[in-house]
Chains A and B, each alone.
Chain A
Amino acid sequence: MKRARDLRDLLRVLRLSALAGVAISCATIGPDGRGDVDLPSGIIGPFRPLKRNKTCDGDVCTGVDELPSGTSSGSPRYPGAPPSRSPSVLVRGAGGDDLHVVLYVARDLDADTDRIARFEALDARSFADVTEVLTGDAPYEAGKIGDPSAIDVEGRVVLYYSIHPLAAADPGAAAQTPGIARAHSTDGLAGRTFEKDGLVLGIDGAKGAWETDPPRAPSLVRDNAGLFHLFYASGNAIGEATSTDGLHFTRVDGDPTTPGLDPVLSPSPVVDPATLPVGVKPPFDDLAVDDPSVVREPTVDGRPVYRLHYTGRDRRKGSAIGYAGRFGDSSLFDHGAGLVYGSKTILHTNAPTVARFPGLSLLFCNVDGDNAQQLAIAVAPAALKLPIKED
């Protein structure tokens, strides 16, 4: 009996100990925990606008200012840039605190003769250094240049740009050759002074039926074999051409299994909104894809991945930034799932270019609002907080 009583006492103590142990555990709030650090990501979007929402009450401040002073709170638009448009970015920084970038932008809204300007910022946001590097004053340009695309080639910056067609009745239209032209820097990678090639690029090969107007909005990358890949917009699609010298290109069929020349990216198929479930929107790019911006990178396995950000236009007269990608140096691009930047409140985004740093991407693009056209800066991943910008 004594043994049984001892046993009961022992069990009682153990039971109370267990209750206390569990109660202590339940009453203690553990840390949130980790496990989601440095996970793989293509950092291709979705992007969020940079914020300017730091507020102070005395010495106590909350929020973060990611944009320079003068930017209205909550606005995705970048001030001080208009009328600059259609940016192309060259990454000069290593990432982290070093977000050094150079932007080439078109200034084609405020004068008869369009120009291309160079912006530079050490933090990818404070563009204090502004230099005009090209003017569309050649007869074949007729004052209508834009859509710059910059690429580093063998110690110099090469700038491709569009020559926008004039109407047939406009002065100078007879001398103009719409298409894509090229200039190269005369000061190396600084890229502040440029010399034009003086001609419009030739693109050999039969046109596809989708090429209803001259090539525009170039984006250039170079593969490991030194071959230039030109991505350009025409009609409502994006095509590709390749070249060994960067000047004479040959069209590439996006899908050799079908007759005729195919684009590498076409608009998404049209979907009747009435057939979609509640909350599912029709494609944002069912009318046209435009303004390609391509980056070529190796994956962890060494195979090349082409990352293409583009303007998607829908049949409701909206536009937003989309993403498509492909593995390998040729083939069609796959559409990504949905848009990566743009919404009902961020209207008519277009003409993207993306600066890719380790762990983050910065998107520069046009935002065409109700009353103005400006540049926007957005960041991915959206949860990332950029370093506080001290004015």
Chain B
Amino acid sequence: MASCSSRSRSAMLTIASFGALAFATTSASANPVDTFGFGSRSSAMAGSNVADVDDFSANYYNPAGLVAAEGLRIDIGYVRASHFLKTNGRDNQVDPIKALVFGIVAPGKVAGLPFAFGIAAHLPDDRVFRVRSLEQDQPRWEMYDNRTQRLFIAANLAIRPFPFLEIGGGMAFLAQTRARLDITGEMNLDDPNTSLLRHEVDADLTAIRYPQVGVRVKASDKLRFAAVYRGSFKLTIDIDARVLVDAQLVGNHVPLLALISTSTLSNFLPKQVVLGGSYDVTDDVTLDADVTWVNWSAYESPVTHVSSKLDIKVPPGLPDRFLPDPQAPTVVLPVNFKDTFVPRIGAEGRIPIGGGHELAIRGGYYFEKSPIPAQTGLTNFVDGDHHSFTAGMGIKLAHVADEMPGDLRFDVHGMLSVIPERLTLKSSGADRIGDYRSSGQVWIVGTTLGLVFK
């Protein structure tokens, strides 16, 4: 019990550390692991293994699977996603995703019941997150350009109350931002170097937590079923700016007050429900399948709401035509995304290669219908249906050294997502963007190195 208690304290400290770091990030977008997978084994099987996962990727796919871990397990890996997304035949140069992935699964027992906790993260190389405010009609690869540029951190607990039932759940952590910017003082437009301005920035980072829970039922030694619920979240960045200065222009004092408020829905992750199963065809071959309902119809527009107010008292004699007009508040159109069902299948074959070592070969496929309706109007959320093919292999080396009582696992995976051509025909000849074709491919490669202490 002592060791278990110590382990729990360490776990809580670790979770708290990750949580604190998550709060310290300024914001984030939707889930990159939704799009690119998580962990080489799960990704190689097209993410179909909601009923067949016990490594660190269970922190995303099914927290209940954590309790099935064979021992303390530590994984670290790397993933790269390269986009080749085109409109009208020209590459739009959507940024690649390069990320370190890592996680821990620590099983044990509490009150005699099998118990485990897990933490996992997807940590991008280039930026922890990115926010972009684009005009409403600006074409954008909505599912790839910005949504996936973010950190993902999750922490989960799992328990097996009965031999046939595993239950897990936890939280993913993010933060949203409210900020206020004040500029006050004297501004000399004739000689800017003599301006005396004070700047004050006050930012609040507010935690967002969204839940995920999963169950797994062992129907028999060969057959397992699972269900997972992932909660929704939305991240907003609200910035209020106030400029209150005494501007000097051509010898005149011009009091100026400008108020600008922006509210950006940085990103929105719809809730999801996954139902799946896993069947051991033989001792060495496993087939997995699941289907995910994604509540895309709740998706909210990422267009920034902007409102502004400008109050300038113009001295007599100065023409006011050089003053900007007040700007109309942004009228954001609904995006009208549609819910989708995403079917996934995967398979794994394991080949003993002697000495307790094992080679695994994996493959999978999933189809994701685009939730984005035909963009015949003002908005231009570019997307298409996805056919994703995955493959991978792994090697398990048992007892590689006396100092390491367990297995060393090395897995690699690759995925090709094909987005067939989609033709967007505008309903109005006056449309600023016009008709366009879009298509593309996404290539993903990754590797994971795991240590399992038994």
Decide: B430 and A35 in contact? CB cutoff 8 A: no
Decide: B328 and A278 in contact? CB cutoff 8 A: yes
Indicate whether A323 reaches chain B with its CB closer than 8 angstroms: yes
Q: Which residues of B contact A22 (CB under 8 A)?
A: 21, 121, 123, 128, 151
Decide: A41 and B90 in contact? CB cutoff 8 A: no
> Are A7 and B325 also in contact (CB < 8 A) when A31-B126, A35-B94 are?
no
User: Nearest CB to that of B4 among chain A residues?
Assistant: A4
Indicate whether A1 reaches chain B with its CB closer than 8 angstroms: yes
Indicate whether A171 reaches chain B with its CB closer than 8 angstroms: no
- Choose the segment among B7-15, B176-184, B243-251, B275-283 that binds chain A (4+ C-beta atoms closer than 8 Å): B7-15
> Are A14 and B434 also in contact (CB < 8 A) when A33-B130, A35-B140, A39-B92 are?
no
> Are A26 and B24 also in contact (CB < 8 A) when A1-B2, A42-B432, A279-B328 are?
yes
Decide: A37 and B21 in contact? CB cutoff 8 A: no
> Are A324 and B430 also in contact (CB < 8 A) when A22-B21, A25-B128 are?
yes
Q: Which residues of A contact B104 (CB under 8 A)?
A: 11, 14
Interface residues of A in 334-365 (CB under 8 A from B): 334-337, 344-345
Indicate whether A56 reaches chain B with its CB closer than 8 angstroms: no
Q: Which residues of B contact A15 (CB under 8 A)?
A: 13-14, 17
CB distance from B165 to the nearest CB of A (A): 27
- Choose the segment among A59-67, A188-196, A325-333 that binds chain B (4+ C-beta atoms closer than 8 Å): A325-333
Indicate whether B429 reaches chain A with its CB closer than 8 angstroms: yes
Encoded as 1 (CB less than 8 Å from any B CB) or 0, chain A from 38 to 72 comes to 11111011000000000000000000000000000
- Per the bound structure, the CA–CA distance linking A343 and B197 in Å amounts to 31
User: Nearest CB to that of B435 among chain A residues?
Assistant: A299
- Per the bound structure, the CA–CA distance linking A305 and B21 in Å amounts to 53
Decide: B17 and A300 in contact? CB cutoff 8 A: no
Interface residues of B in 397-440 (CB under 8 A from A): 423, 425-426, 428-437
Interface residues of A in 268-282 (CB under 8 A from B): 277-281
Indicate whether B74 reaches chain A with its CB closer than 8 angstroms: yes
CB distance from B148 to the nearest CB of A (A): 11
- Per the bound structure, the CA–CA distance linking A60 and B286 in Å amounts to 67
Q: Which residues of A contact B432 (CB under 8 A)?
A: 41-42, 44-45, 336-337
Decide: A42 and B433 in contact? CB cutoff 8 A: yes
Q: Which residues of A contact B133 (CB under 8 A)?
A: none
Decide: B434 and A335 in contact? CB cutoff 8 A: no
- Pick from B7, B128, B380, B429: contact of A334, CB below 8 A: B429
Decide: A326 and B126 in contact? CB cutoff 8 A: no
Decide: B429 and A39 in contact? CB cutoff 8 A: no
Q: Which residues of B contact A299 (CB under 8 A)?
A: 425, 434-435
Indicate whether B70 reaches chain A with its CB closer than 8 angstroms: no
Decide: B430 and A333 in contact? CB cutoff 8 A: yes
User: Nearest CB to that of B434 among chain A residues?
Assistant: A42
> Are A18 and B433 also in contact (CB < 8 A) when A34-B95, A344-B325 are?
no
Indicate whether B42 reaches chain A with its CB closer than 8 angstroms: no
Decide: B3 and A3 in contact? CB cutoff 8 A: yes
Decide: A42 and B17 in contact? CB cutoff 8 A: no
Decide: B7 and A7 in contact? CB cutoff 8 A: yes
Indicate whether B316 reaches chain A with its CB closer than 8 angstroms: no
Decide: A21 and B10 in contact? CB cutoff 8 A: no
Indicate whether A227 reaches chain B with its CB closer than 8 angstroms: no
> Are A300 and B430 also in contact (CB < 8 A) when A14-B104, A35-B140, A39-B92 are?
no
Decide: B428 and A334 in contact? CB cutoff 8 A: yes
- Per the bound structure, the CA–CA distance linking A22 and B17 in Å amounts to 11
Q: Which residues of A contact B11 (CB under 8 A)?
A: 11
User: Nearest CB to that of A5 among chain B residues?
Assistant: B6
Q: Which residues of B contact A19 (CB under 8 A)?
A: 17, 21
Indicate whether B124 reaches chain A with its CB closer than 8 angstroms: yes
- Per the bound structure, the CA–CA distance linking A226 and B345 in Å amounts to 56
Interface size (A, Cβ < 8 Å)?
A: 54
Interface residues of B in 40-99 (CB under 8 A from A): 72, 74, 87-88, 90-95
Decide: B430 and A33 in contact? CB cutoff 8 A: no
CB distance from A293 to the nearest CB of B (A): 15
> Are A335 and B430 also in contact (CB < 8 A) when A1-B2, A31-B126, A39-B139 are?
yes
Indicate whether A8 reaches chain B with its CB closer than 8 angstroms: yes
Indicate whether A154 reaches chain B with its CB closer than 8 angstroms: no
- Per the bound structure, the CA–CA distance linking A289 and B451 in Å amounts to 74
> Are A36 and B321 also in contact (CB < 8 A) when A1-B3, A279-B328, A337-B432 are?
no
Decide: B88 and A300 in contact? CB cutoff 8 A: yes
> Are A34 and B3 also in contact (CB < 8 A) when A18-B102, A22-B21, A40-B436 are?
no
- Per the bound structure, the CA–CA distance linking A118 and B308 in Å amounts to 46
Indicate the member of B95, B138, B378, B423 with the most A CB atoms within 10 Å: B95
Decide: A34 and B423 in contact? CB cutoff 8 A: no
CB distance from A7 to the nearest CB of B (A): 6
CB distance from A219 to the nearest CB of B (A): 16
- Per the bound structure, the CA–CA distance linking A280 and B207 in Å amounts to 37
CB distance from A223 to the nearest CB of B (A): 15
> Are A40 and B25 also in contact (CB < 8 A) when A19-B17, A277-B328, A344-B325 are?
no
Indicate whether B149 reaches chain A with its CB closer than 8 angstroms: yes
- Per the bound structure, the CA–CA distance linking A19 and B126 in Å amounts to 17
Indicate whether A303 reaches chain B with its CB closer than 8 angstroms: yes
Decide: A18 and B430 in contact? CB cutoff 8 A: no
CB distance from B385 to the nearest CB of A (A): 19
> Are A38 and B92 also in contact (CB < 8 A) when A44-B432, A301-B425 are?
yes
CB distance from A301 to the nearest CB of B (A): 5
- Per the bound structure, the CA–CA distance linking A27 and B322 in Å amounts to 42
Decide: A11 and B100 in contact? CB cutoff 8 A: no
> Are A11 and B10 also in contact (CB < 8 A) when A18-B17, A36-B92 are?
yes
CB distance from B93 to the nearest CB of A (A): 4
- Pick from B130, B423, B428: contact of A300, CB below 8 A: B423
Decide: B141 and A35 in contact? CB cutoff 8 A: yes
Q: Which residues of B contact A326 (CB under 8 A)?
A: 429-430
Decide: A25 and B430 in contact? CB cutoff 8 A: no
- Per the bound structure, the CA–CA distance linking A38 and B93 in Å amounts to 8
- Pick from B14, B87, B145: contact of A40, CB below 8 A: B87
Decide: A30 and B14 in contact? CB cutoff 8 A: no
Indicate whether B193 reaches chain A with its CB closer than 8 angstroms: no
Indicate the member of A26, A31, A33, A303 with the most B CB atoms within 10 Å: A33
Q: Which residues of A contact B125 (CB under 8 A)?
A: 25, 30
Interface residues of A in 148-169 (CB under 8 A from B): none
- Per the bound structure, the CA–CA distance linking A30 and B126 in Å amounts to 5
CB distance from B328 to the nearest CB of A (A): 3
Q: Which residues of B contact A325 (CB under 8 A)?
A: 428-431
Indicate whether A12 reaches chain B with its CB closer than 8 angstroms: yes
CB distance from A330 to the nearest CB of B (A): 12
CB distance from B150 to the nearest CB of A (A): 11
User: Nearest CB to that of A340 among chain B residues?
Assistant: B432
Nearest 7 A/B pairs, CB to CB: A325-B429, A279-B328, A4-B3, A30-B127, A30-B126, A40-B436, A326-B429
Q: List 24 A-B contacts (CB under 8 A).
A: A7-B6, A7-B72, A10-B74, A14-B74, A21-B100, A22-B151, A26-B128, A30-B127, A33-B130, A34-B95, A35-B94, A35-B140, A39-B87, A39-B138, A39-B139, A40-B380, A40-B434, A41-B432, A42-B431, A45-B432, A301-B425, A326-B429, A334-B429, A334-B430
Knowing that A22-B123, A35-B140, A40-B433 touch, tell me 12 more A-B residue pairs with CB under 8 angstroms.
A1-B2, A8-B7, A11-B13, A12-B10, A15-B13, A25-B151, A35-B146, A42-B431, A42-B434, A301-B425, A305-B435, A337-B378
Residues of A within 8 A of B (CB): 1, 3-4, 7-8, 10-12, 14-15, 18-19, 21-22, 25-26, 29-31, 33-42, 44-45, 277-281, 299-301, 303, 305-306, 323-327, 333-337, 344-345
